[in-house]
Amino acid sequence: MLAALRRDLDIMPSPAADRPGLLIRDPMRYSDAVVILPWALAPCLEFFDGEHSALDLRAELVRIAGHLDTTQLCDQLHAALRDSAFLDDETFAQRKQERERRFAEAPVRTAAQAGGGYPDELNALRETMNGYLDASDSPTQANDVMAIAAPHVSPFGGWQSYRAAYRMLPRRARERTFIILGTSHYGEPEKFGLTRKPFETPLGRTQIDLPMIDRLASRAASGVTVEDYCHSVEHSIEFQVLFLQWLYGPDIRIVPILCGAFVQSIYGRGMPEDDEGVARVLGELGEIAAAESERVAWVLGVDMAHIGRRYGDRVSARANEGHLAEVASRDAARNEQIAAGNASGFWDLVQQNRDDLRWCGSAPIYTFLKAVPQARGQVHRYEQWNIDEASVVTFAGISFTAA
């Protein structure tokens, strides 16, 4: 039997005009390969489900090609997927084990997005960041802002919302521990991913608040995964680290927490804290927030709606056009609940239609609202951005003060 295609791969239309087809890549970076499968061969992927044989695949290729001599094509397709570690087989298992071992043994979490989401050369990065946040956008003198929510889209697409959020942080926050709640795109649902590794970007290396990490790891063990490999590839926290370093210096002190989706609650019934592990983490974060209110600041790396072909919709999406007006209205309703500090009201809206808006930031937002129930927010900027010609992501810059 043919091994099954991995379920965690990115599969999307190829952006290269001269190479049309399905682009397949590994967001977890167990493999660095990129495969572009011609459109004519796209139906063949259905045969990599663990229930079909090479003979079944050859029969499909005979149908597609219109002749019997397809053995070589079958072997090439199978080898391309196998050697790229795109199949759930021994090749992938070995690659996964090696990558996770290397991350576990590494002293730091190196920059995964440098050279892609932002420049990896220091002078170019400084010029870019100065364009996003110049001297007039430096942190405020006011000290009442305790938290912000910023996007985690690539900064070149969402820099104005990043700026709207980060310019609200107080100058004295330099001395605080930043608890960064990021969306976990690849981690386990109902789990919080922790790491003790400092983050390193071209701007320098952060500090880690190890006592706080260890407290969460020991008191909320059923809800956390420590040294979560997802940190090595995840962008939702890395982009926040970059902006914080730009404002306060490279050696900021952080607690990076990846928040897995609350799938049981979205697709079932009840609230996220009905899961015992989630409840323990929310409880510990609440105690930290109450006891350390003068020592911590909160940063949420969150995007909102995901609409269009990239995300499985049958119709294309254009920012601020057509049905995206309704999306903006529904986003605004959720943001009203966030601003009011109404965790349950926000979650009621998320649960509607099993979150058909696909808010990938819902878990970090709910986590923050439950941990800091006195927080009240203000939306400073809301945006819709075409991540490609047929797909839109929405996001905002929000600040929070205590009621």
In CATH terms, is domain 107-402 a member of 3.30.1330.10? no
**Per-domain residue ranges for the chain?**
10-102, 107-402
The per-residue pLDDT for range 173-195, each reduced to its tens digit, is 999 999 999 999 999 999 999 99
Mean pLDDT over the full length of the chain? 95
**In sequence order, which residues have a C-beta less than 8 Å from that of residue 197 and are 6 or more positions away?**
106, 107, 108, 109, 208, 227, 231
User: Which pLDDT score is estimated for 337?
Assistant: 98
- Asked if 150 and 182 count as a contact pair (C-beta separation under 8 A), the reply is no
User: Which pLDDT score is estimated for 169?
Assistant: 95
Q: Is the pLDDT of residue 136 over 80?
A: no
Q: Is the pLDDT of residue 154 over 80?
A: yes
The per-residue pLDDT for range 80-116, each reduced to its tens digit, is 999 999 999 999 999 999 999 999 999 999 999 999 9
User: Which pLDDT score is estimated for 344?
Assistant: 97
The per-residue pLDDT for range 389-403, each reduced to its tens digit, is 999 999 999 999 998
Q: What is the rounded (10 degree) CA torsion for 46, 48, 50, 55?
A: 90
The per-residue pLDDT for range 326-345, each reduced to its tens digit, is 999 999 999 999 999 999 99
Q: Is the pLDDT of residue 213 over 90?
A: yes
Task: Give 172 or 256, the one with higher predicted confidence.
Answer: 256
Least confidently predicted of 215-219, 226-230, 289-293, 296-300: 226-230
Q: Is the pLDDT of residue 59 over 70?
A: yes
Least confidently predicted of 62-66, 201-205, 299-303: 62-66
**Structure confidence at residue 141 as a pLDDT band (50, 70, 90):** low
User: Which pLDDT score is estimated for 137?
Assistant: 72
The per-residue pLDDT for range 219-248, each reduced to its tens digit, is 999 999 998 899 999 999 999 999 999 999
pTM of this structure = 0.92
